[in-house]
Structures are given as structure tokens and as C-alpha cells.
């Protein structure tokens, strides 16, 4: 063995930097959400329905039947 072999450090495992990668992904997701919310305008609320004004529509249908009475 030579002296150079003792100075070589082993490569770190992929999972050793996992917490750093996770933090970076969460940071990018948060920045993307902030950008998206600041650029896209909020959706407009639909106009309120006026319940006091009668409409010209009539709904026709079959009413639900009552359950049979037990003797």
C-alpha cells in the first residue's frame, strides 16, 4: 500500500445528501407556488342568483314515493 491510498476518502452515499435534496425540492415548490399565485389572477365569483325574481322555467319531475307501510 502506498501513502496515496490512505488519503483517498470514500465517496458519500446518495442517501447522505437526501435531506439537502428534499429541502431544495420543497424550497423550489414553495417559490413556484408563490410565483404562480402572484402571476395568475384569482377566479371571479359567479354573479349572485336572485331568488326573489321568479324565473320563467318550470321543473317537472316524478316525486319520490313514500315507503310502504308495514301491516
Average pLDDT of span 6-33: 86
Q: What pTM was estimated for this model as a whole?
A: 0.43
Q: How many CA atoms lie within 13 A of 28 on its CB side?
A: 6
- Cα–Cα distance, 27 to 50 (Å, whole number): 45
55-71 pLDDT, tens digit each: 677 777 777 777 777 76
Grid look-up 319531475 returns 61
Instruction: Tell me what the pLDDT averaged over the chain comes to.
Output: 78
* Cα separation, 48 vs 28, whole angstroms: 39
Region 30-42 average pLDDT = 91
Amino acid at each position: 500500500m502506498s501513502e496515496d491510498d490512505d488519503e483517498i476518502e470514500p465517496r458519500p452515499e446518495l442517501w447522505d445528501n437526501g435531506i439537502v435534496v428534499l429541502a431544495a425540492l420543497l424550497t423550489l415548490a414553495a417559490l413556484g407556488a408563490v410565483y404562480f399565485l402572484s402571476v395568475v389572477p384569482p377566479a371571479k365569483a359567479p354573479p349572485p342568483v336572485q331568488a326573489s325574481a321568479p324565473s320563467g322555467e318550470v321543473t317537472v319531475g316524478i316525486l319520490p314515493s313514500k315507503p310502504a307501510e308495514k301491516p
